């Protein structure tokens, strides 16, 4: 099968969204399919190699004919919807409710494409708000890369607790909640608590935060090492598709604390008290759940971590399995 991932108007850069697309393209290529990634902007993604063809073009339809033409972001949907049918069946893989791109989101959802989403929360939200029918297609996980190689950290905790979070100052990520929580936790636990942050924005934050370790754009191997040193992972975000960082953290044995915000992006696997902690959508509730996770008895913490791994691997599945499902969905049209 010939498949085009259409990034025209969107581009490829170092972020989680591009990473999931490039993983998908690489796996489909390894499965024997011919894959093109098309963009009007040069490829700026450097985290790992893309093994299929990347086509940079200034013309919206100057790329090979295909069986499937997949819009990967709100800015690329119009170019897929208006493309000649020879460019392939028209799909929109909705991986976020991209209100930061355009306020006229309903117009995007009404364009003539078959729609996939990457999470239950997106599927329910789009049906409720716009009456849009979708099919779920997860990007999948890499359990060979993200796994718990320090299971003993929940069996006999050291004299300190490590709390981790993503350093991303986009408002929808609600880093202000993380900041507020870290300040309060430092006052409460003092030297018995350590903080680890990672991201791609540099260490450009205010001086109110307590001391922490910061790793910028870690490799996947380094990322696994980081997750495996963390006891509790904070994920207060309010607008995602499938939120990847807490999913990876949970695979590596972290106790994840999220919220029940409608688009938190973790409902596919995160259940309060069973696979992590889910707070009502407000800071005070979120902070209360953080304390609950920190004080979780060792045996229960290990049970939650093990259960989260089992649920994620069974419900979300590996990347290869999900790309097989993509081929089936393309065939269904």
Please enumerate in sequence order all residues whose Cβ is within 8 A of that of 260, keeping only pairs 6 or more positions apart, or say none: 267, 278, 279, 280, 281
If asked whether residues 267 and 167 sit together in one domain, one would say: yes
If asked whether residues 17 and 130 sit together in one domain, one would say: yes
Alpha carbon distances (Å) from 56 to 17, 36, 40, 92? 19, 10, 5, 20
Q: Which residue has the tokens 């010939």?
A: 2
CB 313 within 8 A of CB 143: yes
29-33, 150-154, 253-257, 263-267: the lowest-pLDDT one? 150-154
Q: How far is CA 185 from the centre of its chain?
A: 26
If asked whether residues 171 and 293 sit together in one domain, one would say: yes
Report how far residue 245's alpha carbon sits from residue 8's, in angstroms, rounded to the nearest whole number.
26
pLDDT of residue 104: 82
Please enumerate in sequence order all residues whose Cβ is within 8 A of that of 191, keeping only pairs 6 or more positions apart, or say none: 160
- Provide the residue range defining the domain that includes 123: 2-140+318-332
Task: Identify the CATH number of the domain in which residue 295 sits.
Answer: 3.40.50.2000
pLDDT (tens digit per residue) in 268-324: 999 999 999 999 999 999 999 999 999 999 899 999 999 999 999 999 999 999 999
If asked whether residues 80 and 121 sit together in one domain, one would say: yes
If asked whether residues 68 and 165 sit together in one domain, one would say: no
pLDDT (tens digit per residue) in 208-220: 677 788 888 788 8
Report how far residue 41's alpha carbon sits from residue 82's, in angstroms, rounded to the nearest whole number.
19
Structure tokens at 21: 């697309």
Angle at 119 between CA 252 and CA 230, to 5 degrees: 20
CB 151 within 8 A of CB 305: yes
Q: How many domains does the chain have?
A: 2
Structure tokens at 326: 């993509």
CB 236 within 8 A of CB 260: no
pLDDT (tens digit per residue) in 75-133: 999 999 999 999 999 999 999 998 877 778 899 999 999 999 999 999 999 999 999 99
pLDDT (tens digit per residue) in 130-177: 999 999 999 999 999 999 987 777 755 567 899 999 988 889 999 999
If asked whether residues 40 and 97 sit together in one domain, one would say: yes
E strand map for 149-253: 161-166, 193-199, 213-216, 232-234
Residue 145 placed within a domain = no
- pLDDT confidence bin for 204, thresholds 50/70/90: low
Residue 146 placed within a domain = no
pLDDT of residue 296: 94
Angle at 199 between CA 195 and CA 200, to 5 degrees: 150
Task: With CA atoms as reference, report the closest residue to 113 among 128, 126, 124.
Answer: 126
| DSSP output for 46-65 | -SS---SEEEE-SSTT-S--
Report how far residue 284's alpha carbon sits from residue 289's, in angstroms, rounded to the nearest whole number.
9
pLDDT of residue 99: 80
pLDDT of residue 158: 61
If asked whether residues 173 and 108 sit together in one domain, one would say: no
């Amino acid at each position: 099968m010939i498949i085009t991932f259409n990034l025209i108007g969107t581009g490829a850069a170092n972020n989680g969204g591009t990473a999931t697309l490039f993983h998908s393209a690489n796996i489909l290529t390894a499965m024997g399919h011919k894959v093109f990634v098309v963009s009007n902007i040069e490829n700026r993604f450097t985290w790992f190699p893309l093994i299929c063809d990347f086509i940079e073009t200034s013309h919206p339809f100057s790329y090979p004919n295909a069986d499937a033409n997949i819009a990967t972001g709100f800015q690329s949907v119009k170019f897929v919807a208006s493309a000649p049918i020879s460019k392939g069946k028209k799909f929109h893989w909705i991986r976020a409710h991209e209100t930061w791109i355009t306020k006229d989101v309903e117009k995007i959802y009404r364009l003539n494409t078959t729609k996939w989403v990457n999470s239950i929360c997106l599927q329910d939200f789009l049906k409720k708000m716009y009456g849009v029918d979708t099919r779920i297609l997860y990007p999948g996980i890499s359990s060979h890369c993200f796994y718990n190689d320090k299971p003993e950290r929940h069996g006999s905790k050291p004299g300190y607790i490590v709390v981790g979070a993503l350093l991303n100052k986009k408002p929808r990520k609600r880093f202000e909640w993380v900041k507020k929580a870290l300040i309060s936790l430092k006052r409460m636990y003092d030297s018995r608590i350590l903080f680890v942050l990672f991201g791609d924005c540099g260490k450009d934050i205010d001086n109110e935060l307590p001391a922490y370790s910061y790793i910028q754009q870690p490799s996947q191997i380094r990322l696994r090492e980081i997750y495996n040193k963390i006891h509790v992972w904070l994920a207060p975000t309010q607008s995602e598709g499938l939120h990847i960082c807490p999913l990876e953290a949970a695979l590596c044995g972290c106790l994840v604390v999220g919220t029940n915000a409608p688009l938190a992006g973790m409902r596919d696997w995160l259940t309060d008290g069973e696979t992590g902690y889910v707070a009502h959508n407000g800071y005070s509730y979120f902070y209360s759940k953080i304390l609950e996770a920190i004080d979780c008895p060792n045996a229960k913490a290990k049970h939650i971590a093990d259960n989260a791994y089992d649920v994620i691997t069974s419900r979300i599945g590996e990347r290869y399995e999900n790309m097989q499902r993509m081929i089936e969905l393309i065939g269904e049209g």
